[in-house]
Structure 1
Amino acid sequence: MFEKLCSLRPMWYQVGKINEQVREIMRGHPEGVHFVCYSQGGLLCRGIVSSMNHNVHNFISLSSPQAGQYGIPRKWDRYMPANCIKTNIYKFFYTHFVQNHLSVANYWNDPHHQTLYRNYSVFLSHLDGSTPSPNMSEYKRNFLKLHRLVLIGGPDDDVVTPWQSSFYDENENVVEMKKQKFFQDDSFGLQTLYNKKRVHIHTFPGVVHKKWYANRTVFNSAILPYLT
């Protein structure tokens, strides 16, 4: 539905359009459905489960930047100074115009410019509770309807940065999930799910970003068990 350049449409726009189709599927399956969502699609699925009255049992997030992206794909190094882009692109991404027109900007989470992130982000910071939102109680209530949250990733992913679906501190050290402010504040229900043992984390080395959805080992051990 949102392939290639269409995937650059703003996140809330994509969530709204996908919601229309998902709602029909859920009506046809009142016993419940599962979400298997890959890459940016994992954030779209999170927007869906947070913003609608759903019957999603298991939400499987496959190599998705659930706490945001701060990095340029490694393969781009051969074409442009990726580190320079990473450290300066906030000037472009953290503007109202770009936030309203570009998906990647909606979840770009620069650890060196957190005030700008909270002030300008219109998608991820609202889902996390980093930016106050009148919808936060609804987002949390809907998120807690999940039976399980399954997070899948690995150290050889060459796109999602950091690969742990986590976040960097100001020194660009990875901050583990349980030390994240949104976890400790339980702003959207992640700590509650975790304490109820409804968060499952699977790590697979040796898998690059484009190979996750086709890897048989990943499917058999970290996806299929949650679909039965």
Structure 2
Amino acid sequence: MKTARIVRGSPALLRLLLPLLLSGTVRIDGYRPVIIVHGIFDGPKQFKTLSLYITKTHPGTEVSVIDLYDNLASLRPLWRQVQDFSQAFDSIVRKAPEGVHLLCFSQGGLICRALLSVASHHNVHTFVSLSAPQAGQYGDTDYLKWLFPDYVKRTLFRICYSSMGQKLSFCDYWNDPHHRYRYLQSNTFLPMLNGERPHINMKEVLRWKKTTTKIFKHLNYFVYQLFPIFSHFGFYDVNENIVEMRNQEVSGRSDTFGLKALEARGDVELCVHSGVKHVQWHSNHTVFTSCIEKWLT
């Protein structure tokens, strides 16, 4: 099985800084390691720019881009991916007693939220959800048009809410507001992650809710970098009107996994940018300097 690729700070830069460090003129504190999880149809190579931004601003930072389920393999079922990403994640955090930062893009944001929910413990200091469909996906996107050119958003549920469809990663978070019942009954990933799917075994429901609630309670900060409304738990109602996070059941009124509690502590930050294409969020320097850099200490 593949493991994480590690990008370290530039040796040349460190050699230049060494005389200053020894003289006491400049002091660089140790930075927590950064773990990056890519999105759908991505892999480590798409995050070279982001890794460079991090190591230039925070020299010596260990950046691990987990090299799993790259490119077309990212279409595999999300619970399967979570299991393997969790193993790679655990191997990194065990070596970081002071904690780590988790930076997850697009579909990777859901993978990260899930791996934290199944972890017996974690030491993630800051979870950065970078343009991730945390409330699910509904609407036409470029990759969906490429995969299903003859289907539009109103008919894709027929594929996604089938046993075959649930073997495709994006169907695991396809959230059709017009077919709420089928979403709850047939989607085996997002409703369970949100604590909103009924389960025959009530003990399992209570165990899951207790486990998922700890995700955000054990975080110091949860940061959204976003443009789409779905990235910060806002979503459509049946009339396709946008319901904001605070009025959503899972992240607002019922708070099934602890987001509302984290926000009440003042440990949730939203960072909104318009005009940034989805595939450019991890390589846009303005996004990095205004929304990411300050958290990676």
Q: TM-score, normalised by structure 2?
A: 0.70
- Consecutive unaligned residues of structure 2, counting only runs of 5 or more, are 1-67, 199-204
Distance 1:184 1:164, change over 3 A: same
Task: Select the structure of larger CA radius of gyration.
Answer: 2
Cross-structure match for 1:224: 293
Cross-structure match for 2:102: 35
Cross-structure match for 2:172: 106
Whether 1:198 aligns to 2:267 is yes
Say whether the 8 Å CA contact 1:61–1:151 is kept in structure 2: yes
Aligned length: 221
Q: Distance in 1 between matches of 2:232 and 2:257?
A: 19
Q: Deviations over 1:122-177 (max 9, x none)?
A: 1111111111334221111233211111111125xxxxx74654210111111111
1:73 to 141, 160, 165: 141
Q: How does 1:123-202 map to 2 (within 5 A)?
A: 123-132=189-198, 133=205, 134-154=207-227, 162=230, 165-182=233-250, 183-202=252-271
Q: Distance in 2 between matches of 1:75 and 1:30?
A: 39
Say whether the 8 Å CA contact 1:58–1:147 is kept in structure 2: yes
2:154 to 77, 87, 91: 87
Distance 1:45 1:111, change over 3 A: same
Cross-structure match for 1:158: none
The AA in structure 2 aligned to 1:131 is R
Q: Distance in 2 between matches of 1:62 and 1:179?
A: 22
Please give the root-mean-square deviation of Cα atoms over the aligned residues, in Å.
2.0
Say whether the 8 Å CA contact 1:50–1:143 is kept in structure 2: no
Partner of 2:94: helix, strand, or coil? helix
Cross-structure match for 2:115: 48
The AA in structure 2 aligned to 1:144 is K
Q: TM-score, normalised by structure 1?
A: 0.90
Shift of the alpha carbon at 1:96?
Answer: 2.6
Partner of 1:86: helix, strand, or coil? coil
Distance 1:44 1:78, change over 3 A: closer
Question: Higher relative contact order at CA 8 Å, sep ≥6: structure 1 or structure 2?
Answer: 1
The AA in structure 2 aligned to 1:188 is F
After the TM superposition, which parts of structure 1 deviate over 4 Å for at least 4 consecutive aligned residues?
A: 74-82, 161-165
Say whether the 8 Å CA contact 2:135–2:231 is kept in structure 1: no
